[in-house]
Structure 1
Amino acid sequence: MKRPPPCCLITGATGGLGRAVVEAFHSAGFHTIVTSRDQAALEHLAERLGGRVTPIAADLREPADVRRLAAGLDRLDVVVAGAGRTVRDSFGSGDEPLEDWRDAVLVNIFGTAAIARVTLPLVAAARGTMVLVGSVTGRAVVPGDLYSVTKHGVSALAEALRLEAEAAGVQVCVVQPGLIDTPMVSLGRKTRSMMTPEAVAAEILRLATGDHPFQVSEIVLRPLPARQNPR
């Protein structure tokens, strides 16, 4: 009997990094379950990649959507929780709606935590890997930056999850990338050194599929100035 391909769930699958992660895992032979709020973009991604892709639209801010997503899963070897949202303004400047700030907290922290909670039993059954996408901004205090605050939360979430799940054989890692060349990067930062989404996705794939004799709980990725993307 032919063994089924390994299975992964990738959230934030239609964003710049998320799309690259989907492509990396799909190329490695995974059945990829992809989710974001954009149903049309998910269907386009699945059509472009061909077989072994299951698109499920879900709003991770909504508990009912998270439960519906989980109900459609029956096995998971890997989860990559990559859904995220940035904010533009600081505490003391700008006129960004508070609703945008609420959404950033809900997507980045609640959504990540909810996905970890509902998928952990399946990943534990496979003795698999959970990768949470944080940020280097979650390693230091950035003045006035709510996004940085939420990424501190993701790092703490990953450590709390690891301490509970490692006894079940689950590898939990927070990947903390620096600046990635995606549409989320503001024009004012485009001149800085950046990593490609594909390079970061390749590292996430290596982490999730490597036969590590140890727990890799945290990885920091920073761009090299000599490898700045040509413009």
Structure 2
Amino acid sequence: MTKTLFITGASTGIGAATAHAAAKAGWNVALFARSADKLDALAAEIGEQALALPGDATSYDDQAAALQRAVDHFGGLDAAFANAGRGLGTPGTEAGDPEEWRGLVDLNIMGLLYTAKAAIPHLKPNKGSLVLTGSAAGRRHIKGSIYGASKWFVHGFAGNLAEEMRDWGGRCTVIAPGMVDTPFFDQAKPDKLRPEDVADAVMHALRADPRNTVLEIHLFPTH
């Protein structure tokens, strides 16, 4: 039976690359993001294996409804990729914007928690997997980085979630890339990682033998 992967932040960058990689590997992909136009275009590129599910990752109700639609459409869920995230326009603590912080926490932390909570009931029957987008910034201290601190949460939560999911045979992996050339940055970073590199890491974790829980994959640009 064909497996199904739910992806948040699916419209561009890492999410879109993972959708293509999963579809190429024979998976169905449920694509979740705010941009309906971009999702529709991506789904059209992939074909019948893809389902566009517009919604806001900072809304638990939106995510829960999208996951239910995915399960109803494809017949089940085997993995979810909590990939949606954002950075900050104003770095640092003293100079930082508290409203910007709130938006970052709502997406990078609460949105990821919502994905996990909404997906787990659907994953349990298939002993499915959760993959979380962490960051190299969540593995080391960076001066004044609120964004980095949000990714420290992701890394800590991923380990805790792996232990929770172990009780029913599920697996959780955190993917920790260094700088990736995506629309996340205002300027192109052609000498850094490509979204496809991260997608390869996601698929490696998902393809691992059920006896093998890949807890973390850390990627870093050669240059």
Same fold judged by TM-score > 0.5? yes
Letter in 2 for 1:174: V
Q: Equivalents in 2 of 1:8, 1:93: separation in Å?
A: 39
Match of 1:228 in 2: none
Match of 1:6 in 2: 3
Contact 2:39 2:54 (C-alpha < 8 Å) held by counterparts: yes
Match of 1:200 in 2: 198
| Aligned length, in residue pairs | 218
Q: Equivalents in 1 of 2:186, 2:141: separation in Å?
A: 20
How far 1:171 moved relative to its partner? 1.0
Match of 2:30 in 1: 33
How far 1:212 moved relative to its partner? 5.2
Q: What are the residue-to-residue correspondences of 1:162-201 with 2, within 5 Å?
A: 162-187=162-187, 190=189, 193-201=191-199
Letter in 2 for 1:115: T
Q: Equivalents in 1 of 2:153, 2:105: separation in Å?
A: 9
Q: Deviations over 1:45-66 (max 9, x none)?
A: 1112111111111111123212
Match of 1:77 in 2: 78
Q: Equivalents in 1 of 2:186, 2:145: separation in Å?
A: 14
Q: Deviations over 1:13-45 (max 9, x none)?
A: 012111101100011111100000111111111
Q: Equivalents in 2 of 1:124, 1:27: separation in Å?
A: 25
Q: Is 1:57 the equivalent of 2:59?
A: no
Q: Equivalents in 2 of 1:156, 1:51: separation in Å?
A: 36
Q: Kindly, what percent of the aligned residue pairs are identical?
A: 30
Match of 1:17 among 3, 14, 19: 14
Match of 1:99 in 2: 99
Match of 2:41 among 34, 41, 44: 44
How far 1:141 moved relative to its partner? 1.9
How far 1:160 moved relative to its partner? 1.7
Q: Deviations over 1:152-176 (max 9, x none)?
A: 1111111121111112111101110
Match of 1:229 in 2: none
TM-score (norm 1): 0.88
Q: Equivalents in 1 of 2:60, 2:205: separation in Å?
A: 29
Q: Which segment is superposed worse, 216-225 or 23-32? A: 216-225
How far 1:70 moved relative to its partner? 3.1
Q: Deviations over 1:82-126 (max 9, x none)?
A: 1011112122336xx533321111111001011101111221211
Match of 1:156 in 2: 156
Match of 1:217 in 2: 215
Segments of structure 2 that go 5 or more residues without pairing to the other structure are none
Q: Equivalents in 1 of 2:14, 2:156: separation in Å?
A: 22
Q: What are the residue-to-residue correspondences of 1:92-171 with 2, within 5 Å?
A: 92-93=94-95, 97-171=97-171
How far 1:69 moved relative to its partner? 1.9
How far 1:204 moved relative to its partner? 0.9
Segments of structure 1 that go 5 or more residues without pairing to the other structure are 226-231
TM-score (norm 2): 0.91
* Aligned-partner SS, 1:185: coil
* Aligned-partner SS, 2:7: strand
Higher Rg:
1
Q: Equivalents in 2 of 1:151, 1:159: separation in Å?
A: 13
